[in-house]
Amino acid sequence: MEKKGYYDKNRWLIDELSDDLVQIHGIKRVLHEATTKFQHAQIVDTATFGIALVLDGKIQSGQKDEFIYHESLVHPAMIAHPAPESVFIAGGGEGATLRDVLMHKTVKKAIMVDIDKEVVDLCRKYLPTFHQGAFDDKRAEVRYEDARKYIANTRQKFDVAVIDLADPVEAGPAQFLYTKEFYTLVKNKLKPGGIMVVQSGQSGWINLQNFYAINSTLRSIFKYVCPYQVFVPSFVDLWGFHTASDTVDATRLTAREINSRLARRLSVTLKTYDGVSHLGMFSLPARLRRQLARTRKVVTDDSPLIVY
């Protein structure tokens, strides 16, 4: 009889965090593996974090802790807006970002734009606990196209934009969705009082230049840019995010007001995000604040951001 929790120790997922550091995940089984038009995709059952989506060798989210990443990405910006009705999502293939956006009763329309239909279809099939039927919500519209082309051409305006993209690896589909030009396109499609949030990569100990550069790039466009971070166990690091707006400062809300808005808008209790955790997320250590203030690099189409 197979022992509970047993897995073949010769099967490992090696996730490169940098040229000099990797994390190794024990794999119980590979549910699906394919090379799409845009990237290499795997659905794997890990020994520690459950079923996970892996793109180009990097874990995007794991079943047991995905709520930490997705709640932290979605809710600070959504709660900072007084009444978000229309939401644009760039990326978000697992459907969990869409799921958390649609938790807000104020939302009337959420448009998710992901370039890779094959990955989204895999997530629909293998990650039901992630999307929880969000793709079929009548308020949701899922489009399979380049998010940059969509936002440049649409006549829609949005209260909140959630940029939930894979890291900008060289020759990857997201390389030109981390630039000043792209963020400017998104800004121009925000309604008055609108706010954008971006997943900004590692913010703990390595590859911090990406977190710093995204911060500088957003500051070259928006009045209020608020960096924050949370620890995501399956990433084995602190993970960075930024809210950006010309009118909304996400750090100005009190814990009481955040909890009040959550109680009014959501019919579920979140696992990681509330008023107290919001304040903690935006309380960065001194060394990080000093480096953010010093860094001036702006990411452009001519000088894109690349994660190695």
Q: Which residues contact 130 (CB under 8 A, 6 or more apart)?
A: 61, 63, 66, 94, 95, 96, 99, 123
The answer to whether residue 164 is catalytic is: yes
Q: Which residues contact 268 (CB under 8 A, 6 or more apart)?
A: 103
Chain centre distance of CA 259: 22
Contact 284, 215 (CB under 8 A): no
CA angle 172, 144, 168 (to 5 degrees): 20
Q: What whole-number distance in Å separates Cα of residue 152 and Cα of residue 126?
A: 32
Q: Which residues contact 20 (CB under 8 A, 6 or more apart)?
A: none
Crossing angle for the helix pair 255-265 and 66-80, nearest 10 degrees?
A: 100
Crossing angle for the helix pair 286-294 and 208-219, nearest 10 degrees?
A: 60
The three-state secondary structure class of 238 is strand
Of the residues 100, 164, 167, 274, only one is catalytic, namely 164
User: Letter for the amino acid at 60?
Assistant: Q
Active site residues: 164
